[in-house]
Amino acid sequence: MPRRVLLATNNAHKVGEYRRLLDGVPYEVVTPADVALDLDVEEDGETYAENATRKAVAFARASGLLCLADDSGLEVFALGGEPGVRSSRFAGPGATDADRIALVLERLRRVPGVSRAARFVCVIAIARPTGELELVEGECRGEIAAAARGSHGFGYDPVFLVPEAGVTMAELSPEEKHRISHRGRAAAKAREVLARLAMEGPT
């Protein structure tokens, strides 16, 4: 049986991105559904690293597999770093991506473009069932656009402007996005960790 690494997420968008980002690693990438694992871990930590660690450790212990989990967020400097670690909960329970985007734009309604700097941050935790853990991080800096644009990606991608490209993250192709995104940069480091772990032997 090939080595397997479990993605600690039930988010279909993230699963799709990670399958592309981890393509070619010396592991079969599997999801909780693939291994009949029904587990939900509360993401109420104070940092991305704390949330990613909680998920990776819990899923690794429950499955007996090497596990990869992430937590990510949008930090808008004019909003004091909000929504930050609360990015998915920013507009309250049951809110959609559109609701969260609308709230960010409303908070920035009187903030000029030159003051709308922001960054995406992603922390990936890789945990073994025995408890050993490694963390990697990636970030992407940009600005918040005046309005949502683009149909690719998910979350805050439609309002995250990549200045050097002149487009939002949601206007980039998946390949272009993965080259510069916070998740793409963190995943590149995670690939190095997974390659090293594979060389070290069974996990």
Q: What is the DSSP letter of 91?
A: T
Q: How far is CA 198 from CA 90, 195, 201, in A?
A: 38, 5, 5
Residue 84 to residue 24: CA distance in whole angstroms:
31
CA distance 184 to 196: 19
Cβ(147)–Cβ(91) under 8 Å?
Answer: no
List CB contacts of 73: < 8 A, sequence separation 6 or more: 48, 83, 84, 85, 86, 87, 88, 120, 121
Dist CA 122 CA 191 (whole Å): 14
Q: How far is CA 74 from CA 9, 142, 156, in A?
A: 19, 10, 7
For residue 25, how far is the Cα from the chain centroid?
18
Output the domain CATH number for residue 41: 3.90.950.10
Does the annotation count 71 as an active-site position?
yes
What is the structure's pLDDT at 202? Answer: 66
Is the model's pLDDT at 1 over the cut of 70? no
CA distances for 81 relative to 77, 84, 95, 131, angstroms: 5, 6, 20, 31
How far is the CA of 157 from the CAs of 44, 70, 122, 132, 181, in angstroms? Answer: 23, 17, 14, 33, 10
The whole domain housing 97 covers: 4-200
Which of these is catalytic: 23, 38, 40, 71? 71
The count of structural domains within the chain is 1
Confidence (pLDDT) at 164: 87
pLDDT of residue 203: 60
pLDDT value at 2 more than 80: no
Measured in degrees and rounded to the nearest 5, phi and psi for residue 86 equal -95, 20
Give 123's contacts (C-beta < 8 A, 6+ positions apart): 47, 48, 49, 52, 70, 71, 72, 135, 136, 137, 186
Q: Which of these, 30, 170, 40, 165, lies nearest to 97 by C-alpha position?
A: 170
Q: What is the mean pLDDT of the chain?
A: 94
More confident residue, 174 or 119: 119
pTM: 0.93
Find all residues with CB under 8 Å of 96, minimum gap 6, and list them. none
Give pLDDT tens digits for 140-180: 999 999 999 999 888 999 999 998 889 999 999 989 999 99
